[in-house]
Amino acid sequence: MGERTIMAQRYIPEIRDGDKRILIIDGEPVPFALARVPLQGETRGNLAAGGQGRAQPLSDRDQELARAVGQRLAGRGLLLIGLDVIGDYITEINVTSPTCFVEITEQTGFDVAGRFVEALVRIVSGRPLGRGAADKP
């Protein structure tokens, strides 16, 4: 009756393997995701809810989803996107405060912040969004 907000989501059994945060910078996915794995008996993988963050390489399906969404949103001017994926499903697209730079970098050695800064420099230099990783012309 308008007194309480409720958000519901269908239960996706693959949550046991984690709610993956896939970072997309300038339309291209970072090669590692952070799987936020729920504690035993919990269904939420959020780090704030006690989930454990485990960096892992993107699966073929993760890459497919990230490229499809990333290129489209980069074309709309979004430089940084955090795509949340459980199993084969995109559950959320974060565009205001995607997180997990630190955890992915610490666990894999991949410099997420460096990739982001390279993309920023390209934009400030006048090159448009959606051109992909820093090594592309």
Query: How much is the pLDDT for 7?
Result: 80
Query: How much is the pLDDT for 92?
Result: 93
Query: How much is the pLDDT for 137?
Result: 39
Position 15, amino acid: I
Q: Check: CATH 3.30.360.10 for 13-124?
A: no
Q: What is the pLDDT of residues 81-98, one digit of tens each?
A: 999 999 999 999 999 888
Q: What is the pLDDT of residues 17-55, one digit of tens each?
A: 999 999 999 999 999 999 999 988 888 877 877 889 999
